Structure 1
Amino acid sequence: MNELNNLFRQRIGFPEHITITFDQLTKVLERTALSLPFENLRVIAGERENVTRDYLLNKIVVNKEGGLCYELNAILYLFLLENGFDVRLTRGIVFNHGAGTYFTLGKTHVVILLNHEGITYLVDTGFGGNLALSPLPLTGEIIISSNGGFSVKPASDGPGDYTFELKLHHKDTEWRIGYTFDSKATFTDLDECNDAQSIVIEHPESTFNKHPLVTKLTERGNVTLTDRTFTQWVEGKVTKEEIDAVRFKELLRLHFGM
């Protein structure tokens, strides 16, 4: 096995000697979600590099940082590819629940499509705390995980041909749309991720270029850190702490290893 494969397994705590089958992908996604923070700290710091294999390896695996969707799903894509899976990338548009419509930034959300035995599945480890933790067939079937209920349905309208829908445990009382994506507009060249990165960094309506955000699932819920608050969900119970810059750094190291 090559360097990325070995080091990624070490990063997420998955044994190096085990051959990963389709049935084990849920375990891989669970370990990835517990290990890799969804975070925008380089964006806030004004740092920018092209999304390449070496960049992803150094940032996420060697330096033990996290990333946004175009980084987290890109490195997972490379990992799955090297483990023999039939995967491609595509881009989607996130739903803006405040406005009741899709964000106007364009296709900022990068996800993975995986083909297995004639069925296409959505695989996503880059949507903050809204992770299915399992491959989702593009059939509308509801998949239940420790994080909630999830499905991918053909879109009746909108800019994509499928929608990702979710109902998180302890948080959502109704099903809601996460994003739409185009299953036909797939790509394998990571240069496409740089276009998504450019929008996230430059667009005035981007939610990720204004304040730091770090979040990660835990065994019992999730943790979310901003420049002002630290929020913990533990088995459905939420606590929130107002913080300052010193406390931010302490919590970043303590809960995210950064």
Structure 2
Amino acid sequence: MSSHPPLEIVLRALGELDPRGVHPPSSMELELCLGYSREELDEAFQAVYDHPMEDVLDLFAQERLQQCPSELLDDFAGQVTMEHGYTGELYYCYFPYRFGELLLATTPHGLCSSSFTLGDREEARERLIGSYPHVAHFHEEPHPILVQAMRHLAEPTTEPLPPLHLIGTLFQRSVWQTMLLIPQGGCISYQRIGQALGLPQATQAIGTAVGANPLAPFIPCHRVLPKEHTIGFYHWGTGLKATLLAPELL
């Protein structure tokens, strides 16, 4: 049995997915490039997903991703506040999550930021402060909205999404709102978002807005794929994108 945590092994394995590849790596390829035995890899995937490695890797073959539902929900029932800038109070806390520690932040109106710390809390905190240059006071404390956010991640089918506060340009907010309509288990393309917004030619700008999503995984940008039905790129890395998407597809 490996001395490395199962999640670390899974993230490394899924990080070997080619963002534009039509076939996932084989188990033998992963053994050779990562240095883990087949038994160690299977144990890690079983610990994280309760499924063997081959079952999870198969989810990211082009023909499997092509079968994912690609329709949007008719409406988003949650509470959303939107504005271009924000100058009030901001509360933040670090929280454990099954796929990596999160730094969550909220205003009194709603959850405004969610980022993976990737093992570096100070850098994550500096990114948060840099994203809100006009906020005068940052408070490190577990605001009730932050607690509700973590309850939602733990029990997404029974615990409602907390209120959200989307702070960005009008175009960014439109893209983020559209991503809130992607159902669990579904995957849509950047072009499909453009169609929903009446901007079918704005694929590049939509990709930039998706990459700037401040609320992953609450706003599910991990469900946005290239039109070729490959896993595609992700702000936090392809491995983390696949790690988030896998349980929704199993």
Structure with more contact order per residue of length (Cα contacts < 8 Å, sep ≥ 6): 2
Whichever of the two has the greater Rg, that structure is 2
TM-score range, shorter chain: under 0.3
Counting helix residues as a fraction of each chain, which structure ranks higher? 2
Superposition TM-score, scaled by structure 2 size:
0.25
Superposition TM-score, scaled by structure 1 size:
0.24
